[in-house]
């Protein structure tokens, strides 16, 4: 019997309120483990460990390392459960169980067989995978080819698997599976191929419970015209259909490839939807609901409680999929159940997560220029015509738009410290020129319809790592970075905040003031997320290196033209002076 | 003007005895740099640095790391010259110049274009490359496809290149180019394809000066029947031709893929020749001279001074290519100019490097059983019929032969400490069953003619790391290892000896007694060699990780059958429980 099983057994004896179906709710409280991608349901990525702290972080040193044997972008982070670390790779999505009691020797390895030619060419932004999940004695792998696999945690053997979609239509997967209570929630990628986004819920045995689309008829979206709200009002009948011309919604994107969070007390989970397809806004008049939106859904029924569209009728590829961090703080003297979301469009949103009320919406990067502000009343951004490709028309280049299509922040997740009350956010500081053009839809073919060129917003400063006060919508401090910060951050009870850089540094800053306390050059550029755990009473910090993701696509795919890689290649050209492809887990301790 | 250029200029002003043509002779004396593969002409791999020593080595920690972006076996080691580190990779043989003043940022990168399909399939033992060399302001890369390239040390631009052989005939390259004084000496691989071995000398501008074969007519071998000696006697006319049946010597192997050393006072360089082809001994009666032999050649004329054949008429693939370490020690009260060679066949040879006199020949692994001893008078091994495939005949399996075809030591180079007077030797402790069979020669096709299965000589102990006294031919201490030690060792003036293991550990032992003082688990299994340098007054230790080479071929080539990979797969099967493919440079300091 493993320790987990034992402790759960004891839990269920001592805490009658929690059934085994809630095991994750308890496990995430143990700071020695890292039991889900974000560390907790709330997506705070906060570690309660404080052995490593402001006084000694400069003595941090590498404890051991592990090459995954795969190159290209290593996003996400490992899980640590019962002295075993679970490490995943980008395509081909290998899973390693590493024995922490034996210097990381390989306990088991699972390597799925996926069709390369069907899958890899239709992945928009490198062949990344954002991680594994745990539940009910199983490790869940969400493969690139949309197969969800449940592996026996002890042996790595397949318990069940389900291929839920077809990469030949452009549908792929990069997100992790999300285990919430007794369900597994998965999303889908393919917004650059006209894939219609959805979330799908499974039970622990692989049975599909429901599927809820981002766009289309109310029933297929699992919305209730009367009781599902937006800006505190019922959304009404056919809210999505009414916001599209004809049947464009069927190929209209709104994919669901980002991070999911969950409030077990409200039994609501939160996620965002991606860009409307095609990127060319003139081919899809209307608000294109509910792309670019945050959803709050009831875990058990799947029905949406509320929706909020950040960027109606997107013109810039500002996917709304970034994480939603759930914390309770006082705003203007009143305790609020907050949801905090740093959107690609450059606004940091603070909402009431029970109701979807918009509390704060402010720019978290000073370069943002496509909109002047967001109205807290209507929820609508106040657009600047000069930076509107829709206003400027097809086959016309709109220049100087900030942020670029990468957004002021992409998938790289932020972290929150209950001690400082601040959010720590890896950001992009890049702008673009964009020229939309007419594109025809062919299933399984790119459906982009825009030529993009990205470049730094400020010379030699393509990113910042910032501290953010979500109660007021203010930057507290900001550390400039040479490149976009494409790595997820973690803050600890030691008041140290960690993140990685595209050059390959892992850095530790003082959470109070952003002062750099320590850095280490890892094997390759970092697009993975930092986490922490304790083993034999000692705190460890771990991070995956391996340059890639959309920012690193020039390197992973050997692209040369500035506008290749959906416009990203030019901006990140000098990355290859700093680092080289890799796939290495680095573990640090005092 | 770089520091090197400056210091050389000063040298030529102050030391009229040395011309620029001898720059390496001076540069290798500077312990802060690592200017050639083995650190010095004598191949001692000794570092005079002692900041890291017995008292503090347990505090060693990783300073930085660098992923090469290439998987598979990373043999060899970096060079360090004037604050720049030069790192090479296995096929496709990328070269990186890393700026040590900038945490290893990439100063320049050179990536040759080589024909994969022509080259990789005819490399016997993974696509390794053993390193770069420096001379005359150039970095020399000896590519897999047999192209020798001279790169501008400042820019990485190609100054000249010469493709000297044809992979379509099975001729490839894994060895480093050897710069000795004003010449570059290169060898060739392909003993498993019937390639006729040779060495080739270039001047610094890429002009071929001579080419000397291992087998064949005297003039093509550049031997002088009267003045070239073996066992102190003239070899006589047609010494090679007389030892082969018919024209078998033309496809008879004797390749030259190992390490070369040089004595600048004698102007002699030393290297060994590989196995006679085919492995089936019954297809090539005779001594098969001068395969399996050590050569001492005059650098300028190319003419052989002496030759010594360790394994006449080889029956086990005991290539004679291992390094020859040149040291002066007292033997029985008399100072000798020694050459010390740990042969694949399991005997450690001590010779007089001026004359080729055989001084000592003793087993350096206790399992060696194919011969009882080697006569110091005749130089001949005393074979044991039971372990002779030739005696047992074709299509008959000879079992329990020790060592296996990997030898009691393969290419992994040993190191020598002038302080302790001992050699530190990474060894194999493996045996095999071998069954020879008739094979037909087809140019460019494998010409092996034997089925081999390797296995540990002792359960859970496939290698040892030993200290050896070459004056007496005695093991001083021996540390058991789970796997063969396929990494090159380095001993320092701090009396610490370093080496890597196939699981990926770099270890530091007390040179006096072999006690383990420190270990660190690097990203992947280690088949590279340790070196050391000083930067800004601080000592660093560096090592390449990346499982591969013949020992790792099951992993690099995804082989499953025990007898695949020329018999290596079965023995190393459990390696994949310990490590995974990679290509990472790790740098350590206090
Ligand atoms: O619309 C989509 O379906 C989709 C999918 C993905 C993905 O799955 O990685 C990305 C994006 N869009 C995207 O817009 C984007 O900026 C992006 C960055 C990355 C990354 O991992 O670096 N993926 C994606
Ligand atoms: O006969 C040859 O030409 C030849 C070449 C090589 C090589 O070039 O790597 C090896 C061998 N033989 C060989 O016998 C051998 O044990 C071996 C080990 C390795 C290695 O790098 O791990 N290469 C070679």
Q: What is the distance between the alpha carbons of residues B8 and B23, in angstroms, rounded to a whole number?
A: 7
Q: Is residue A5 part of a domain?
A: no
Evaluate whether A201 touches A210 at the Cβ level (below 8 Å): yes
End-to-end Cα spacing for chain A:
31
Q: What is the distance between the alpha carbons of residues A160 and B117, in angstroms, rounded to a whole number?
A: 40
Q: Is residue A391 part of a domain?
A: yes
The answer to whether the CB atoms of B67 and A581 lie below 8 A apart is yes
Q: What is the distance between the alpha carbons of residues B330 and B337, in angstroms, rounded to a whole number?
A: 9
A542 lines ligand 1 (CB under 6 A): no
- For residue B406, what is the DSSP state? T
At A1 the pLDDT is 33
Q: Is residue B51 part of a domain?
A: yes
Closest CA to ligand 1's atom 22: A549
Cβ-Cβ contacts under 8 Å for A560 (sequence gap 6 or more)? A554, A569
Spell out which residues of chain B touch residue A155, defining contact as CB-CB under 8 Å: none
Whether the ipTM is more than 0.90: the answer is yes
The CATH number of whichever domain residue A42 belongs to comes to 2.140.10.10
Ligand nearest to the CA of A487: 1
Confirm whether residue A353 is marked as ligand binding.
no
Spell out which residues of chain A touch residue B69, defining contact as CB-CB under 8 Å: 71, 524, 580-582
The answer to whether the CB atoms of B67 and A524 lie below 8 A apart is yes
Domain residues for the domain of B112 are: 23-589
Q: Is residue A11 part of a domain?
A: no
State pLDDT tens for residues B308-346: 999 999 999 999 999 999 999 999 999 999 999 999 999
Ligand nearest to the CA of A72: 1
State pLDDT tens for residues B413-430: 999 999 999 999 999 999
What atom of ligand 2 comes closest to residue B317's alpha carbon?
A: 14
- Percent of chain B residues past pLDDT 70, beyond the cut: 96
Ligand nearest to the CA of A190: 1
The answer to whether the CB atoms of B65 and A521 lie below 8 A apart is yes
The model's confidence at residue B21, banded by pLDDT at 50, 70 and 90, is low
User: Mean pLDDT over residues A391-405, rounded?
Assistant: 97
Closest CA to ligand 2's atom 14: B319
Cβ-Cβ contacts under 8 Å for B38 (sequence gap 6 or more)? B44, B45, B259, B261, B323, B413
The CA dihedral of B329, B331, B336, B337, to the nearest 10 degrees, is: -60
A197 pLDDT exceeds 50?
Answer: yes
At A4 the pLDDT is 45
Question: Can you name the residues that pair with B97 across neighbouring β-strands?
Answer: B86, B108
Q: What is the distance between the alpha carbons of residues A28 and A42, in angstroms, rounded to a whole number?
A: 10
Dihedral sign computed on CA atoms, order B315, B318, B319, B325: negative
The answer to whether the CB atoms of B582 and A583 lie below 8 A apart is yes
CB-facing half-sphere around the CA of A540: CA atoms within 13 A: 26
At B405 the pLDDT is 97
State pLDDT tens for residues A553-576: 999 999 999 999 999 999 999 999
Confirm whether residue A172 is marked as ligand binding.
no
The CA dihedral of B175, B180, B185, B186, to the nearest 10 degrees, is: 10
Strand order in the sheet with A198-203: A178-180, A183-186, A198-203, A208-213
SS3 letters for A373-399? EECCCCCCEEECHHHCHHHHCCCCCEE
- Percent of chain A residues past pLDDT 90, beyond the cut: 96
Q: Quote the tokens at residue B12.
A: 């030529």
B255 lines ligand 2 (CB under 6 A): yes
Residue B264 to chain A, least CA–CA distance (Å): 39
Name the pairing type of β-strands B381-383 and B371-374.
antiparallel
Q: Which residue of B has its CA nearest to A523?
A: B66
CA B369 to each of CA A35, B386, B407: distance values in angstroms, whole numbers, following the listed order = 54, 9, 12
Q: Which residue of A has its CA nearest to B108?
A: A577
Q: Is A400 left (phi over 0), alpha (psi -120 to 50) or beta?
A: left
CA B45 to each of CA B88, B323, B505: distance values in angstroms, whole numbers, following the listed order = 18, 11, 19
Domain count within chain B: 1
State pLDDT tens for residues A120-155: 999 999 999 999 999 999 999 999 999 999 999 999
The model's confidence at residue B103, banded by pLDDT at 50, 70 and 90, is confident
Evaluate whether A295 touches A272 at the Cβ level (below 8 Å): yes
State pLDDT tens for residues A219-228: 999 999 999 9
A17 pLDDT exceeds 60?
Answer: no
Burial of A330 (0-12, 13-18, 19+ CB in 10 A): exposed
A3 pLDDT exceeds 70?
Answer: no
Q: Which residue of A has its CA nearest to B105?
A: A578
Residue A104 to chain B, least CA–CA distance (Å): 8
Closest CA to ligand 1's atom 12: A191
Cβ-Cβ contacts under 8 Å for A375 (sequence gap 6 or more)? A381, A382
The model's confidence at residue B18, banded by pLDDT at 50, 70 and 90, is very low
Give chain B's contact residues with A (Cβ, < 8 Å).
61-62, 64-69, 71, 96, 103-106, 109, 503, 505, 520-524, 545-546, 576-584, 586
B549 lines ligand 2 (CB under 6 A): yes
Evaluate whether B346 touches B387 at the Cβ level (below 8 Å): no
Q: Quote the tokens at residue A103.
A: 């210097």
Task: Output the CA A282–ligand 1 centroid distance in Å.
Answer: 22
Residue B112 to chain A, least CA–CA distance (Å): 15
Q: Which residue of A has its CA nearest to B104?
A: A578
At A113 the pLDDT is 96
Closest CA to ligand 2's atom 20: B549
At A467 the pLDDT is 98
Which residue bears the tokens 């039991």?
A: A35
Catalytically active residues of A are 317
Q: Is residue B568 part of a domain?
A: yes
The CA dihedral of B138, B143, B148, B152, to the nearest 10 degrees, is: -20
φ/ψ of B121, rounded to 5, equals -65, -20
Q: Is residue B1 part of a domain?
A: no
CA B76 to each of CA A350, B32, B87, B129, B549: distance values in angstroms, whole numbers, following the listed order = 55, 19, 9, 7, 11
The model's confidence at residue A22, banded by pLDDT at 50, 70 and 90, is confident
The model's confidence at residue A103, banded by pLDDT at 50, 70 and 90, is confident
At B254 the pLDDT is 98
Under 8 Å CB pairs connecting chains A and B tally to 99
Q: Is residue A280 part of a domain?
A: yes
Confirm whether residue B30 is marked as ligand binding.
no
What atom of ligand 1 comes closest to residue A174's alpha carbon?
A: 8
User: Mean pLDDT over residues B545-557, rounded?
Assistant: 96
Task: Output the CA A396–ligand 1 centroid distance in Å.
Answer: 25
Residue B153 to chain A, least CA–CA distance (Å): 17
Q: Is residue B6 part of a domain?
A: no
Q: State the alpha helices, DSSP H only, in B302-454.
A: 389-392
State pLDDT tens for residues A416-469: 999 999 999 999 999 999 999 999 999 999 999 999 999 999 999 999 999 999
- For residue A140, what is the DSSP state? E
Confirm whether residue A255 is marked as ligand binding.
yes
For chain A, what is the radius of gyration of the CA atoms?
22
State pLDDT tens for residues B165-207: 999 999 999 999 999 999 999 999 999 999 999 999 999 999 9
Evaluate whether A288 touches A313 at the Cβ level (below 8 Å): yes
The answer to whether the CB atoms of B71 and A68 lie below 8 A apart is no
B343 lines ligand 2 (CB under 6 A): no
The model's confidence at residue A10, banded by pLDDT at 50, 70 and 90, is very low
Interface mutation target, options A105, A524, A582, chain B, most CBs of B under 10 Å: A582
A6 pLDDT exceeds 50?
Answer: no
CA B145 to each of CA A211, A440, B127, B321: distance values in angstroms, whole numbers, following the listed order = 55, 46, 11, 20
At B421 the pLDDT is 98
Q: Quote the tokens at residue B94.
A: 């990328």
Closest CA to ligand 1's atom 18: A550
The answer to whether the CB atoms of A67 and B520 lie below 8 A apart is no
């Amino acid at each position: 019997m493993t320790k987990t099983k034992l402790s759960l057994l004891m839990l269920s004896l001592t805490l009658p309120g929690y059934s085994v179906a809630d095991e994750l709710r308890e496990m995430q409280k143990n700071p020695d483990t890292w039991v889900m991608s974000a560390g907790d349901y709330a997506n705070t990525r906060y570690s309660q460990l404080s052995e490593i702290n402001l006084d000694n972080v400069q003595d941090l040193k590498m404890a051991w390392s592990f090459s995954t044997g795969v190159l290209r972008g290593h996003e996400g982070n490992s899980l640590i459960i019962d002295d075993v670390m679970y490490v995943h790779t980008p395509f081909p999505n290998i899973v390693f169980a590493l024995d922490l009691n034996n210097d990381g020797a390989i306990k088991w390895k699972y390597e799925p067989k996926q069709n390369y030619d069907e899958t890899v060419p239709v992945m928009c932004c490198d062949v990344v995978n954002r991680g594994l999940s745990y539940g009910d004695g199983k490790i869940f792998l969400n493969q690139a080819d949309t197969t969800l696999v449940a592996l026996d945690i002890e042996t790595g053997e397949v318990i069940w698997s389900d291929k839920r979609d077809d990469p030949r239509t452009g549908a792929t997967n990069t997100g992790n599976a999300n285990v919430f209570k007794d369900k597994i929630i998965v999303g889908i990628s393919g917004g650059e191929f006209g894939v219609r986004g959805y979330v799908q819920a499974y039970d622990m045995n692989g049975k599909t419970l429901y599927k809820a689309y981002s766009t289309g008829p109310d029933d297929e979206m699992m919305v209730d015209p009367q009781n599902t709200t937006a800006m505190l009002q019922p959304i009404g009948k056919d809210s999505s259909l009414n916001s599209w011309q004809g049947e464009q919604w069927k190929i209209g994107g709104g994919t669901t490839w980002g991070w999911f969070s969950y409030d077990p007390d409200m039994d609501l989970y939160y996620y965002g939807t991606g860009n409307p397809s095609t990127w060319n806004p003139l081919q899809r008049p209307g608000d294109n609901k509910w792309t670019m939106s945050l959803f709050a859904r009831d875990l058990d029924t799947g029905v949406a409680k509320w929706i909020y569209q950040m960027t109606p009728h997107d013109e810039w590829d500002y996917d709304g999929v970034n994480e939603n961090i759930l914390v309770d703080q006082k705003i203007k003297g009143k305790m609020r159940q907050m949801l905090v979301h740093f959107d690609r469009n450059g606004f940091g949103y603070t909402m009431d997560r029970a109701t979807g009320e918009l509390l704060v919406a402010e720019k978290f990067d000073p370069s943002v220029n496509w909109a002047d502000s967001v109205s807290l009343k209507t929820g609508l951004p106040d657009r600047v015509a000069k930076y509107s490709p829709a206003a400027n028309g097809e086959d016309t280049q709109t220049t100087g738009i900030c942020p670029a299509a990468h957004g002021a922040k992409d998938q790289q997740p932020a972290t929150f410290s209950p001690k400082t009350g601040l959010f720590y956010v890896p950001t992009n500081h890049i702008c673009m020129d964009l020229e939309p053009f007419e594109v025809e839809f062919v299933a399984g073919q790119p459906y982009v319809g825009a030529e993009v060129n990205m470049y730094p917003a400020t010379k030699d400063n393509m990113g910042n790592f910032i501290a953010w006060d979500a109660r007021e919508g203010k930057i507290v401090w900001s550390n400039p970075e040479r490149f976009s910060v494409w790595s997820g951050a973690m803050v600890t009870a030691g008041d140290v905040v960690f993140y990685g850089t595209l050059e390959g540094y892992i850095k530790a800053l003082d959470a109070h003031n952003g002062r750099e306390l320590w850095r280490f050059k890892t094997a390759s550029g970092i697009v993975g997320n930092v986490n922490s755990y304790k083993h034999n009473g000692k705190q460890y910090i771990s991070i995956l290196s391996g340059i890639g993701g959309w920012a690193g696509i020039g390197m992973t795919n050997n692209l040369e033209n500035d506008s290749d890689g959906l416009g990203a290649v030019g901006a990140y050209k000098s990355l290859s002076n700093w680092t080289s492809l890799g796939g290495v887990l680095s573990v640090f301790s005092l």
